[in-house]
Amino acid sequence: MSVHDHPAHLLPHALPSYLNPDDVGPWGTYLQQVDRVTPYLGSLARWVETLKRPKRILIVDVPIEMDDGSIAHFEGYRVQHNLSRGPGKGGVRFHQDVTLSEVMALSAWMSIKNAAVNVPYGGAKGGIRVDPRKLSKGELERLTRRYTSEIGLLIGPTKDIPAPDVNTNAQTMAWMMDTYSMNTGSTATGVVTGKPVDLGGSLGRVEATGRGVFTVGVEAAKLIGLPIEGARLAVQGFGNVGGTAGKLFADAGAKVVAVQDHTGSIYNPDGVDVPALLEHVRSQGGVGGFPGAQSMAADDFWAVNCDILIPAALEGQINKDNAHRIQAKMVIEGANGPTTPEADDILHDKGVLVLPDVIANAGGVTVSYFEWVQDFSSFFWSEDEINARLVRIMQEAFAAVWQVAQENKVSVRTATFIVACQRILHAREMRGLYP
């Protein structure tokens, strides 16, 4: 995204000096989203600049010894966007394309999301610019431990609590928890969420984001009169979020007709066998080559005849080049930031309902909150209890933003930003500025 895509009044004061104005990246998308909500903030708009710059950014060098004896250096980040409502909370991403702009945007979307579902957290995010598939397990462990140690200045059970994101998982969290615990001389289970269940993790956390996507999708489908039974689904990204959401929709009678991931795009108009596809992804590393479907060109994925489209991979996937080709009646954002503001407008004009990331994928952080609460009290809940509480929070939060969207005649994204920004800025106003 270039600087020219931004309304003039956003620039240059809103753009921090450490970002390249010619390539603002996902942070530019976030700034435009805040800009759209500002007219609805009333007297709280006085504080809106707080949302347009992260509170704190840490960039760390992560050197590790590789298996062949050489030394490799990786760049790592931890960004705390806003801590007005509580400690920072947000995942850690390992990906070769991670940038500061991306981590900034992801941290900001965490602030919005946490406020939207009213969990007592601010927003944070971390990442390392690395292709983890090129590292051995030992190298990955050393990378994770050194990164955790480097960001140890910022994280802690009452300060900032990381969790899994793209290419990180329960094992990554176990290493992070152990490293932090070694450095502090304690067993600090509450420093990360998404841990293995035997190490203070929560039942239901692995599926929580996908379950939240499904829950919000079902609620919205009722409102627009779209039956889930027989609905055709296209899913981009078949990892933790996309795979779980695809499975839950298929269990409810929907047909997963197209799936795309980093290994290929597949299509089956009768619906793929989802458990078989999940097993293929587990054993082969991706959907490419799945025998129960035909392969299709990557670009054609966006034009597939479907009712529901779930982007569950990376940012900026639905953009001005492909948005007009989308056939779906409803887009449920499993991924963070998958739709650019231009694409949002195109989809709106086509009458496509977009359920934004900041509400649709909030199920993960909601169960992370449950995990953190369970760790503090050392008292663990049953899976049924967790899923029931998750569904209730997601349904109530979605109903609240839907009502705001109807009242103000705005998109669900803007409505979610209205609810969330009001909560964050109200907290900011009550706390006041120090000194």
Q: Is 255 a catalytic residue?
A: no
Pick 84 or 236: Cβ nearer ligand NAD: 236
Does position 107 bind ligand NAD by CB under 6 A?
A: no
Q: Which of 122, 334, 341, 356 binds ligand NAD (CB under 6 A)?
A: 334
167 binds ligand NAD (CB under 6 A): yes
Selected from 102, 141, 261, 375, the binder of ligand NAD by CB under 6 A is: 261
Residue 241 near ligand NAD by CB under 6 A: yes
Q: Which residues lie closer than 8 Å to 396 by C-beta, 6 or more apart?
A: none
User: Cβ distance 274 to 252 under 8 Å?
Assistant: no
DSSP 314-369: -TT-B-TTTGGG---SEEE--SSS-B-HHHHHHHHHHT-EEE-HHHHTTHHHHHHH
Is residue 203 at the binding interface for ligand NAD, with CB under 6 A as the rule?
no
Minimum distance from residue 109 beta carbon to ligand NAD (Å):
9
Nearer to ligand NAD, 74 or 301 (CB): 301
Candidates 16, 156, 286, 288; binder of ligand NAD (CB under 6 A) is 286
Place of tokens 């009044």: 9
> How is residue 173 written in tokens?
């969290």
Task: Name which of 14 and 248 has its Cβ closer to ligand NAD.
Answer: 248
DSSP bridge partners of 89: 161
Nearest alpha carbon to residue 400 among 362, 352, 432, 347: 362
Closer residue to ligand NAD in complex, CB, 93/255: 93
373: its two tokens: 């609460």
For 219, other C-beta atoms within 10 Å of its C-beta total 16
Q: How far is the CB of 356 from ligand NAD (least distance, A)?
A: 12
Interface region with ligand NAD, contact rule CB under 6 A, candidates 49-57, 196-204, 310-318, 377-385: 310-318
Residues whose CB is less than 8 angstroms from the CB of residue 36 and which lie 6 or more positions away in sequence, other chains included = 341, 414, 417
Select 153 or 276, whichever has its Cβ closest to ligand NAD: 276
Task: Find out whether 221 and 231 touch, Cβ atoms under 8 Å.
Answer: yes
Binding mask 399-428 for ligand NAD (x = CB under 6 A): ------------------------------
Q: Is 37 in contact with 356 (CB distance < 8 Å)? A: no
Q: Closer CB to ligand NAD, residue 21 or residue 286?
A: 286
| 52, 89, 113, 125: the active-site residue | 125
Using CA atoms of 96, 98, 239, 268 in order, give the dihedral in degrees to the nearest 10: -80
- Chain positions 336 to 365 lying near ligand NAD, rule: CB under 6 A, are 336, 361, 364
CA atoms of 99 and 85, how far apart (whole Å) = 26
Examine residue 314 and tell whether it contacts ligand NAD (CB under 6 A). Answer: yes
Residue 256 beta carbon to ligand NAD: minimum distance, rounded to whole angstroms: 13
230 Cβ partners below 8 Å, 6+ apart?
253, 254, 255
Stretch that binds ligand NAD, among 17-25, 62-70, 181-189, 311-319 (CB under 6 A): 311-319
- 209 forms part of the interface with ligand NAD (CB under 6 A): yes
State the residues that interact with ligand NAD by CB under 6 A: 164-167, 209, 236-242, 260-262, 286, 312-314, 334-336, 361, 364
Residues annotated catalytic, as ranges: 125
